[in-house]
Amino acid sequence: MWAKAKDLSKYNFLVEKLSQYYALLKESSKYNSLFEVANRLEKLYGGKAYVGLRIPDADTVSRQDIDIVLVTEGKAVVISVMDISGTVAVSLDSSWVIIKDTTKERLPDLVVETKRKASILESYLDLRGVALPEGYFSCYVVLPNPKLRIISSSRLPSEVITYDRWQQLKPEHKSMFSGCTEGAFRGREEMKGSIHSILSTAPMWDRLELKGNKYVLGEFLDFDGIQDEIQAYLMKKIKRSTVSHLLIVQQPSKGFHGWIAEGSMVKVLYSCRDYQGEEGSASKRKEITVSSSIQVLFQPQNWANKFYRLDLSQLVSLSLST
């Protein structure tokens, strides 16, 4: 009887872990569109896309979330991604009303909001010693969901990229960047390098990667599990101030439905933080092997009182912001 109760307890524990994992997979859907948009923009126009920035705003003493900043030759674009479905009605005052089922939600002019965030980013760069020419930033709102229907689409400003327009973008079509100053920094590699250096060290949301190229933005809280292992392997070695990225390499031993067997180990490759711009290089990675049951506590973006508890074996990687 005791053995059966123990088996049932293990089963319930596994079910709970699976339910948390699949709940987080569902949560990741709203973040994946950010990375899909960023990756496509890099392929179309080159440059570097920075995702999930949290830029300090001196006026409000808070941080402003910026979905994507794409920096290319001579220009930069601040992009808000709205992966919404249902119906959107555009009002005469340019505000949006999102209609889904029986609910309605009114949003302010998203282009104006994106331009406000670009202004905050420009001030942040200025404080860090980079003076930009007027018009260096252009701003766009991307609507990548094919299940979105827009009423009065003629009222949309040109900076809104609807699904159809998004699908038609090609490398030779530079119309998306028509609002910025072409060639403003051409030949000024030092200035461009400074922008990349600052954005790569700017505050960002931590990034959790799950299997199947699924991502969640939020905040890494802590490790949990067997205390002596945590103290010996993780807490002393992996700190936000010194480590930028963790890659979890699963060992071949498998358990239920391909999950890591109980008591098995995982290899963790971690990249030491390098403020000179070479973070993540293979030569700077260090390696430790720990129990697969050690857990990561992670709080998704804008979740005040809830976090997920996931085994290391359920993860692919974890990126830590400064």
Number of domains in the chain: 2
- Same domain for 170 and 219, yes or no, is no
Q: What is the pLDDT of residue 14?
A: 57
Domain boundary among 174, 201, 228: 201
Contact between 145 and 36 under an 8 Å Cβ cutoff? The reply is no
- Same domain for 37 and 121, yes or no, is yes
Q: Is 279 exposed, middle or buried (0-12, 13-18, 19+ CB in 10 A)?
A: middle
Contact between 309 and 299 under an 8 Å Cβ cutoff? The reply is no
Residue 76 domain-assigned?
Answer: yes
- Same domain for 35 and 184, yes or no, is yes
Q: What is the pLDDT of residue 186?
A: 41
Q: What is the pLDDT of residue 20?
A: 65
The closest alpha carbon to 137, from 153, 114, 169, 154, belongs to: 114
- Same domain for 135 and 217, yes or no, is no
For residues 236 and 253, what is the distance between their CA atoms, to the nearest angstrom?
Answer: 27
- Same domain for 182 and 251, yes or no, is no
- Same domain for 212 and 151, yes or no, is no
CATH code assigned at 88: 3.40.1350
- Same domain for 107 and 197, yes or no, is yes
Per-10-residue mean pLDDT, the chain, length 322: 51 58 69 93 92 90 93 89 88 82 83 94 90 87 92 84 90 53 42 78 92 90 77 73 87 49 77 64 74 87 82 90 84
Contact between 307 and 13 under an 8 Å Cβ cutoff? The reply is no
Q: What is the pLDDT of residue 185?
A: 39
- Same domain for 49 and 167, yes or no, is yes
Tokens of 307: 């976090």
- Same domain for 186 and 249, yes or no, is no
- Same domain for 194 and 265, yes or no, is no
Note down the domain range covering 299: 206-319
